[in-house]
């Protein structure tokens, strides 16, 4: 009997993934990762994950399934690999996606190592995505979930061929979240109607600026809002509190709607413009992982530049150093440094990387 390590967050998705693996005859071990001390700070809201309540929910589901269950302490690694880069990206003028780094360095790195130690053939998570093997090429493919509204392939672009070969996403074949909840209800899971987590787990009050200042132990200096010509429009509360495309929450009374279109970190300025100023003709990305083989010449693709964005047409070219340049035939809104760009061919994930620069004019 093959063994599978189930990453259990305490949510309904990973719980149902565990049940489905048992139904398929796998010998399952449940693992919950302890990533940070939620009990020492403000109480986490129900829209986050990784709380003490989540750990107990996972433990109870594992007990219902008569499955061995362990809690692993990865707090130091989480601090180094997720929280610190989150802070540094904001300080350098970007907007990070810590969930991608958590999936990459915690679930699919640390847990992958632990699975090997426990002689598990597979890591299993509750992500909505699909893995298939292309028999003609021998390569593993990552594809969108059947339920495109729940698809999470965007946060999984980093998976290597080795990881894809030893990872299973049982929920990827389901057409709706309602089906998944029905399975949880059938098993009598305590979390069958638990809301989905949507907020960053370690930002307990939802205010990124407050978290950053608490982490660093100091406030970020205020500075000038300026227009694209450098004219002062008002005072901001620290560059880390703003992101490209933002219109609300600026605290300004202006004659017309204006949006955050850039930052000048050296001058401690947040640049505002009209709506046209937040549209980009291209971008550069690094740390790129190709799941399919990289193209040898310019290629038409679809690109997503943020998790909740739509995939839009783009032309991709690969530079000699491995960086990826994208050109948008129709300008793309709010291309943001620090976010991921993920390339698709229909429902097939070609690869992805981190945006290092957006270009308004090419």
- Taking CA atoms, 251 is separated from 61, 233, 247, 254, in Å, by 46, 11, 10, 10
With bands split at pLDDT 50, 70 and 90, how would you rate the model's confidence at 205?
confident
Of the given ranges (103-112, 200-209, 239-248), which has the lowest mean pLDDT?
200-209
Q: Are strands 348-359 and 340-345 parallel, antiparallel or unpaired?
A: antiparallel
Mean pLDDT on 333-342:
98
Among 187, 203, 229, where does a domain finish? 187
Residues in binding site: 7-14, 33, 126
Determine, yes or no, domain membership for 346. yes
Section 130-152 average pLDDT: 95
Question: Could you give the 3-state DSSP secondary structure of residue 315?
Answer: strand
> 84 pLDDT exceeds 60?
yes
pLDDT tier, 169 (very low <50, low <70, confident <90, very high otherwise): very high
Residue 313: both structure tokens together: 């047409």
Co-location of 179 and 225 in the same domain:
no
d(CA 79, CA 75): 6
Which one is catalytic: 28, 44, 99, 102? 102
Task: Report CA 70 to chain centroid distance, whole Å.
Answer: 25
Q: Is 120 designated active site? A: no
- Over residues 135-139, the mean pLDDT reads 93
282 vs 57: CA distance, rounded Å: 44
Q: What is the pTM of this model?
A: 0.93
Tokens of 83: 């929280």
Domain containing 148 — which CATH number? Answer: 3.40.50.620
Adjacent-strand bridge partners of 132: 141
Say if residue 265 is in the same domain as residue 323.
Answer: no
Domain assignment of residue 203, yes or no:
no
- Residues 241 and 322 occupy one common structural domain: no
Q: Is the pLDDT of residue 50 over 80?
A: no
Is-contact 146 135, C-beta < 8 A?
Answer: no
Q: Assess whether pLDDT exceeds 50 at residue 46.
A: no
| Same domain for 63 and 145 | yes
**pLDDT tops 80 at residue 77:** yes
Residues 50, 99, 120, 201: which is the catalytic one? 201
CATH of the domain at 289: 2.40.30.10
pLDDT, the chain, mean: 93
Q: What average pLDDT does the segment 319-326 reach?
A: 97
351 in Cβ contact with 286 (< 8 Å) = no
Say how far apart CA 305 and CA 337 lie, in whole Å: 10
306 and 332 part of one domain: yes
Are residues 107 and 147 both part of a single domain?
Answer: yes
Same domain, 115 and 250: no
Same domain, 146 and 18: yes
Lowest average pLDDT, out of 44-53, 88-97, 183-192, 200-209, goes to 44-53
- Residue 209: inside a domain: no
Where among 161, 187, 213 does a domain terminate?
187
Q: Using the predicted structure, report yes or no on whether residue 45 has a pLDDT greater than 60.
A: no
Specify the number of domains making up the chain.
3
Structural domain span for residue 250:
221-273
Average pLDDT on 68-72 reads: 96
List CB contacts of 333: < 8 A, sequence separation 6 or more. Answer: 245, 278, 279, 280
Q: Examine the domain organization and report whether 255 and 302 are in the same domain.
A: no
pLDDT at 196: 79
Domain endpoint, select from 145, 169, 187: 187
Specify if 345 maps to a domain: yes
Largest CA distance in the chain: 69
**What pLDDT digit, counting tens, does each position of 242-290 carry?**
999 999 999 999 999 999 999 999 999 999 999 999 999 999 999 999 9
The pLDDT score that the predictor gives to residue 195 is 82
Same domain, residue pair 300 and 259: no
Q: For residue 50, indicate whether it is catalytic.
A: no
- Percent of the chain scored above 90 by pLDDT? 88
Residues 154 and 38 placed together within one structural domain of the fold: yes
User: What's the pLDDT band for 92 if we cut at 50, 70, 90?
Assistant: very high
Distant-in-sequence, close-in-space partners of 1: CB < 8 Å, separation ≥ 6: 25, 26, 27
CATH number of the domain residue 253 falls in: 2.30.30.280
184 pLDDT more than 80: yes
Q: Is residue 87 part of a domain?
A: yes
Q: Is the pLDDT of residue 151 over 50?
A: yes
193 in any annotated domain: no
Residue 110 is given by DSSP the state: I
Q: Is residue 213 in some structural domain?
A: no
Tell which wins on pLDDT, 204 or 282: 282
In a domain, 194, yes or no: no
Same domain, 325 and 245: no
- Return binding residues for ATP: 7-14, 33, 126
Instruction: Name the one residue in this structure whose structure tokens are 């399952």.
Output: 28
3-state class percentages of the chain: helix first, strand second, coil last, to nearest 5: 30, 30, 40
């Amino acid at each position: 009997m093959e063994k599978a390590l189930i990453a259990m967050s305490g949510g309904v998705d990973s719980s149902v993934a565990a049940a489905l693996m048992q139904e398929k005859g796998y010998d399952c071990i449940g693992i919950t990762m302890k990533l940070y001390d939620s009990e020492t700070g403000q109480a986490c809201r129900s829209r986050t994950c990784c709380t003490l309540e989540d750990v107990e929910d996972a433990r109870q589901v594992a007990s219902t399934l008569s499955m061995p269950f362990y809690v692993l302490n990865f707090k130091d690694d989480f601090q180094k690999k997720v929280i610190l880069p989150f802070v540094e990206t904001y300080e350098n003028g970007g907007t990070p996606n810590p969930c991608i780094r958590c999936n990459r360095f915690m679930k699919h790195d640390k847990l992958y190592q632990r699975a090997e130690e426990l002689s598990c053939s597979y890591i299993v998570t509750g992500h909505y995505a699909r893995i298939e093997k292309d028999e003609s090429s021998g390569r593993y493919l990552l594809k969108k979930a059947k339920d495109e509204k729940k698809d999470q392939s965007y946060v999984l672009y980093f998976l290597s061929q080795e990881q894809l070969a030893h990872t299973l996403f049982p929920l990827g074949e389901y057409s709706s979240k309602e089906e998944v909840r029905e399975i949880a209800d059938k098993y009598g899971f305590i979390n069958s109607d638990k809301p989905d987590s949507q907020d960053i787990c370690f930002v307990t009050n939802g205010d990124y600026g407050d978290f950053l200042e608490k982490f660093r132990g100091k406030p970020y200096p205020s500075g000038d809002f300026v227009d694209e010509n450098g004219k002062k429009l008002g005072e901001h509360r620290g560059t880390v509190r703003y992101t490209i495309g933002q219109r609300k929450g600026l605290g300004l009374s202006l004659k017309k709607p204006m949006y955050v279109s850039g930052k000048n970190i050296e001058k401690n300025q947040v640049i505002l413009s009209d709506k046209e100023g937040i549209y980009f003709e291209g971008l550069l990305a690094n740390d790129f992982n190709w799941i399919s083989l990289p193209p040898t010449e310019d290629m038409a693709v679809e690109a997503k530049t943020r998790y909740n964005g739509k995939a839009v047409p783009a032309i991709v070219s690969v530079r000699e150093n491995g960086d990826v340049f994208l050109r948008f035939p129709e300008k793309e809104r709010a291309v943001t440094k620090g976010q991921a760009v993920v390339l698709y061919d229909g429902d097939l994930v070609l690869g992805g990387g981190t945006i290092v620069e957006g270009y308004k004019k090419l």
